[in-house]
Amino acid sequence: MRRAGRIVSDLLKLMEKEAKAGVSTKGLDEIAEDFIRSQGAEPAFKGYYGYPASICASVNEEVVHGIPGKRVLKEGDIVGIDVGAKLEGFFSDAARTFAIGKVDEENKRLIEVTREAMNQGIRQAVEGNRLSDISWAVQSYAEKNGLSVVRDFVGHGIGRNLHEEPQVPNFGKAGQGMKLVQGMALAIEPMLNLGTFEVEVLKDGWTVVTKDHKRSGHFEQTVFVGKDKPEVVTG
Ligand code: MF3
Ligand code: CO
């Protein structure tokens, strides 16, 4: 998982460089698939329940699971890039949201608060805490900063499968759910919105968008629960 995680984090750095105005999301997907395979790994998303690509590219009001296509990124957009790699039977999964060229203050804040909400959640991934300590850390930070938290999609356990138990919601009161134990592997992935937390799925069966079409941010890391501090596998 650490080696798969390194491939994922290296790829996200490459995606940050490549995600510029004028580039199509399909173009990013092609670069990503080539990179993953060049590292001896497989794209974890391709073929997963029929998903047709190696990355998810979710632009502006798209929350997650945007299918790469002809859409061309333009100055002022934000794009969430989510990638997973499978190496020798083990998975890692991570996402970042990038600004395309200059974006306004509201968009900058959306990106920074979403990243920090994820980090607040990650900080709770230590032995002795309960699962929902992560959830509450994310929700309270997000709402304190005026953003809403998507309910319909959640983080997840990860390891020999992309999605394993338990689900890791980004909302809920502290002190509930299973006790965390060193070595548990979790994908912590808040989706935060400027407007309503409500989302819907487009007719393509994948792309999740905000109901009010206001923008959304998404960050994700694969993390190992630690004795006194978490280990970020995709950092
Ligand atoms: N990180 C996303 C998730 O955990 C990516 C899944 S895309 C899919 O939901 F195609 F693989 F479903
Ligand atoms: Co995930």
CA–centroid distance, residue 118 to ligand 1 (Å)? 17
Residue with tokens 């009010």: 212
CA distance 174 to 64: 26
29 Cβ closer than 6 Å to some ligand 1 atom: no
Indicate whether residue 188 lines ligand 1 (CB < 6 A): no
Q: What residues pack around ion ligand 2 (CB closer than 5 A)?
A: 93, 187
Please list the pLDDT of the chain residue by residue as tens digits (235 residues).
Answer: 999 999 999 999 999 999 999 999 999 999 999 999 999 999 999 999 999 999 999 999 999 999 999 999 999 999 999 999 999 999 999 999 999 999 999 999 999 999 999 999 999 999 999 999 999 999 999 999 999 999 999 999 999 999 999 999 999 999 999 999 999 999 999 999 999 999 999 999 999 999 999 999 999 999 999 999 999 999 9
Q: Which atom of ligand 1 is nearest to the CA of 155?
A: 4
Cβ contact 65:203 at 8 Å: no
Ligand 1 geometric centre to CA of 44 (Å): 8
Ligand 1, pocket-test mutation among 12, 29, 49, 93, most atoms within 8 A of CB? 93
Query: What pLDDT, on the 0 to 100 scale, is given for residue 118?
Result: 99
pLDDT for 16 equals: 98
pLDDT value of position 88: 98
Residue 220: CB within 6 Å of ligand 1? yes
pLDDT of residue 115: 98
- Token pair of 167 as six digits: 């689900």
pLDDT for residue 184: 98
DSSP character at residue 230: -
Asked if the bond preceding 166 is cis, omega within 30° of 0, the reply is: yes
Residue 229 alpha carbon to ligand 1 centre in Å: 26
**Exposure string for 154-187, b = 16+ CB within 10 A, e = fewer:** bbbbbbeebbbeeebbbbbebeebeebeeebbbb
Q: Which of 56, 150, 189, 223 to mutate to test the pocket of ligand 1 (most atoms within 8 A of CB)?
A: 56
What is the token pair recorded at 171? 């909302």
Strands 155-157 and 185-188: antiparallel
User: Ligand 1 atom closest to Cα of 82?
Assistant: 1
CATH of the domain at 200: 3.90.230.10
The pTM (predicted TM-score) of the whole model is: 0.98
pLDDT of 163: 98
Instruction: Residue 47: give the domain boundaries.
Output: 2-232
Tell me how far the alpha carbon of residue 138 lies from the centroid of ligand 2, in angstroms: 16
Number of domains the chain is built from: 1
